[in-house]
Amino acid sequence: MASVQIKVNVTGIVQGVGFRPFIYRTAVKNELNGYVRNRGDAGVEILLEGEEKNIQNFIEDLKLKKPPLAQIHEIITTRLNGKNEYGKFTIYKSSDEAELSGSVIPPDIAICNDCLKELRDSKDPRYEYFFITCTDCGPRFTIIERLPYDRQNTTMREFPMCSFCQREYADPSNRRFHAQTIACPKCGPKAYLTTRKGESIEHKDPIREAGKLLSEGFIVAVKGYGGFHVATSTTKDDPLIRLRKVKHRSQKPFAIMARSLEAAKIFAEVSKRETELLTSYTRPIVLLNKSNEYYLSDLIAPGLHNVGVMLPYTGLHYMLFDEVDEPAFVMTSANPPNQPIIKDNEEALQKLGDTVDYFLFHNRQIAHRCDDSVTRVHKQNLVFIRRSRGYAPAPIMLRKKAKRCVLGLGGEQNDTACVLLGNKAFISQYIGDVENVETKDFLENAGKHLIRLTNSKVEAVACDLHPKFTTTKLADDLAEENNWQLVQVQHHYAHIAALMAEHDVNEIVGTCCDGYGYGVDGEAWGGEILLCTSESSNFKRVAHLEKQPLIGGDSATRYPLRMATGMLHKKVDVKDWLLENKKQFPHGESEIQIILQQLEKGHSITGTTSCGRVLDAVAAVLGICYERTYEGEPAMKLEASAIKGKDVLKLQPIVKSNILDTAQMLLEIFENREKYSKADLAFSAHAYLAKGLATLAIEKALESNIKVIGFSGGVACNEIFASIMRKSVENAGLRFLVHEAIPSGDGGLSFGQAVVGGFFHS
């Protein structure tokens, strides 16, 4: 039989997922010689020599039997002239060549079942080794400094393999064949415990000792894959009170890690879909409804109907629970206010020393910080609140290819960066609120790292329209520095463009509801209905919520009673009611007088069409929340209250010149506040807004003969709101779209901006 030689280049997620061992086995099985190697562009190059039909079988196997975590985007084959040059099939050392673009390293992956079994098997050499991993699991994104993905290019470089690990690493029949994170108690990273001052505490079992300290009510900083967590007990109030005090977080919910799915099922309701998500290899935090048997401290998620739960995702996490009965531990990202999650040991000692009692360190460096992902399930739909660990930087696959490569930098809050390249969108890990040097640097580095990883040739940089955002300034600088085109995209348009690209639709009536976005007129927007088509790089604002006074600008956001006052003042005299509630104003009666005077004069008060602010006002009128101590708090607590309510008011939408009235709705809530329960009134407000916006969107869609209505923006995370809108739209015979792969909040903005710059702009 004649022998032929073929070169195969594979792009996708093919490094760090057991791909080369799989290629080796497949080549040997099909009697082929040649080699496989990782390339510097994150792709894999294969040279095959052998019979034509065997090569065809190989390619079939490649497509059908690839390892579970591998994603193949493209297979490019080239016929070569060589013959019989290779006597066997070999795994070669990686090459630094980088010609192709768009491949990427995988996200961090939770410990697999095989490794978990070995962790528990007293006969296994890796028994009780907290960083046990294999080709199917372990950290990737957070340890890789540069490509190709080989041990010397990761922070595992400092841990030379022992002879036992080396043997497994070199054995094609072993699960750890070429596993770059291979390690054991002898040669791998070590864990150790210290006091808050960094003084070492000698203990033969530091991890389980840390678990005991947690259960006794101490606060321990625990270093994981992508950064530090601050951990403590979930069943005792004292440490939570202490933690809230030192972190200056009076209300913001803490995420928790449950010891097992069974444990979580007692204090939370867990559906089948939520179970899948909790136990998946991505292991995100899932917001679960508290069950009737909820018995953890009320200080974990005060005033909310749900609690963010994740399951252990490293051996270390499992071991924390081994010798204690705690059902769960608080596991909140350790970051000082407005700063990125802490990743370095020294930095942790400096910044957390006053917060925690102990540190559980390990001695492996974290190359890239990465927060936990946060998700929610609406019926069957996955809703991303934060898309980070377990997902980033794996790309979102789009149906169409972008006209050019664009870097999106997002807005100001909950930011991410995005590189749009061809039909792939690479969204970075969660960056946070970009307001200072630390987060700006983090964003810039994350963006540049993505560009390097994907070998992208960026042509344009996209950002928000807001002239004063840090990200706008950064985009400006990068455009100048690199000679990239600068594309500024209106906030809500970016949200809707993201929805269009995600679902491959060419025209849409998009409803976008959130807290704040800079409008084209410079005003504060946030309850918008936009008509968008892929033909144009612009949009039409066809309807919006009534503009309401934002008394005192940012302080109206912080104190929602100000928002309510401004809205009600249009309809009734609220002075007596305000005086009854004067304690809710930081400066009491004098503040009320000033607010009322300002309203009487009417000038120098800016306005907002924000849906978030209207929900805030409802929360204040119902006495559910008077101060916003974290983003979204009043609206989240309002949703928590509405969950047990029904639409008692049955208000009909009031629309004048494409503007949905909101003041009259608030007046109805106000006037009925003694008559009905908070839950029913909270639900009625949701119903009015969701139905009102749906009615307007449907009207606009029918006028323009558009069949699709979308819902985006942070409010789309609200299940009651989204489900009422869905029902109205589907009853009208139209298609209703929400995000499935990207966050509906501002974590999806960078992607939407890149879409406008790469698809719609010329």
Binding site for Zn ion (CB under 5 A): 112, 115, 134, 136-137, 162, 165, 184, 186-187
Q: Is 699 helix (H, G, I), strand (E, B) or coil?
A: helix
Closer residue to Zn ion, CB minimum distance, 179 or 220: 179
DSSP structure class, residue 31 = T
Kindly tell me which of 156 and 210 has the beta carbon lying closer to Zn ion. 156
Q: Which residues of 32-53 are buried (b: 16+ CB within 10 A; e: fewer)?
A: bbbbbbbbbbbbbbbbbbbeee
Q: Give the integer Cα–Cα distance in Å for 744 and 515.
A: 12
What is the number of residues in the chain?
Answer: 762
What are the angstrom distances between the C-alpha of 233 and each of 86, 297, 358?
Answer: 60, 9, 14
- Nearer CB in complex with Zn ion: 282/608: 282
Nearest to 343, CA basis, from 360, 359, 366: 366
Do the beta carbons of residue 497 and residue 489 sit within 8 Å? Answer: yes
Residue 188 Cβ, how far from Zn ion at the closest point, in Å?
A: 6
Q: How far is the CB of 200 from Zn ion (least distance, A)?
A: 23
Burial of 119 (0-12, 13-18, 19+ CB in 10 A): buried
**Which residue lies nearer to Zn ion by CB, 182 or 716?**
182
Sheet holding 418-421, edge to edge: 396-397, 424-427, 418-421, 406-408, 460-464, 485-489
CB of 483 to Zn ion, least distance (A): 45
Please identify, using beta-carbon distances, which residue of 137 and 420 lies nearer to Zn ion.
137
Q: What backbone torsions phi and psi does residue 650 show, to the nearest 5 degrees?
A: 45, 50
Smallest distance, Zn ion to C-beta of residue 19, A: 15
CB of 21 to Zn ion, least distance (A): 13
Distance CA 248, CA 447 (A): 31
* 3-state SS, residue 621: helix
CB closer to Zn ion, 131 vs 359? 131
Residue 597: partners with Cβ closer than 8 Å, 6 or more residues away = none
Strands 485-489 and 606-608: unpaired
Task: Using the minimum distance from each CB to Zn ion, give the nearer residue, 165 or 611.
Answer: 165
d(CA 251, CA 302): 6
CB of 115 to Zn ion, least distance (A): 3
Cβ proximity to Zn ion, 149 vs 559, nearer residue: 149
Q: Is 377 helix (H, G, I), strand (E, B) or coil?
A: strand
Nearer to Zn ion, 84 or 279 (CB): 279
Least distance from C-beta 163 to Zn ion, angstroms?
Answer: 8
Cβ atoms of 311 and 270 closer than 8 Å: no
Cβ closest to Zn ion, residue 186 vs residue 379 = 186
Nearer Cβ to Zn ion, position 161 or 625? 161
Burial of 655 (0-12, 13-18, 19+ CB in 10 A): middle
Q: Among residues 112 and 300, whose Cβ is nearest to Zn ion?
A: 112
Question: Given the complex with Zn ion, which of 162 and 654 has the nearer CB atom?
Answer: 162
CB of 25 to Zn ion, least distance (A): 18
Smallest distance, Zn ion to C-beta of residue 15, A? 17
Looking at residue 96, its amino acid is D
Cα–Cα distance measured from residue 755 to residue 489, given in angstroms and rounded to the nearest whole number = 10
Number of alpha carbons in the 13 Å side-chain half-sphere of residue 715:
32
Tell me if 397 sits within 8 A of 741, measured CB to CB. Answer: no
Q: How far apart are the first and last CA of the chain?
A: 54
CB of 133 to Zn ion, least distance (A): 5
Separation CA 164–CA 183 (nearest Å)? 9
CB of residue 185 vs Zn ion: minimum separation in angstroms?
8
Smaller CB distance to Zn ion: residue 224 or 327?
224
CB of 262 vs Zn ion, minimal distance in Å: 22
Q: How far is the CB of 143 from Zn ion (least distance, A)?
A: 15
* Crossing angle for the helix pair 611-621 and 678-703, to the nearest 10 degrees: 160
Nearer of residues 37 and 362 to Zn ion, judged by Cβ? 362
Strands (E), 387-538: 396-397, 406-408, 418-421, 424-427, 460-464, 485-489, 507-518, 524-533
Least distance (Å) between residue 154 CB and Zn ion: 16
- Find out whether 615 and 634 touch, Cβ atoms under 8 Å: yes
- Dump the DSSP string for 589-616: HHHHHHHHHHHHH-TT-EEE--HHHHHH
Q: How far is the CB of 140 from Zn ion (least distance, A)?
A: 12
When the beta carbons of 133 and 439 are compared against Zn ion, the nearer one is 133
Nearest approach, Cβ of residue 187 and Zn ion (Å): 3
| DSSP string across 47-107 | EEEEEHHHHHHHHHHHHHS--TT-EEEEEEEEEE---S--SSEEEPPP----------PPP
* CB count in 10 Å sphere of residue 652: 10
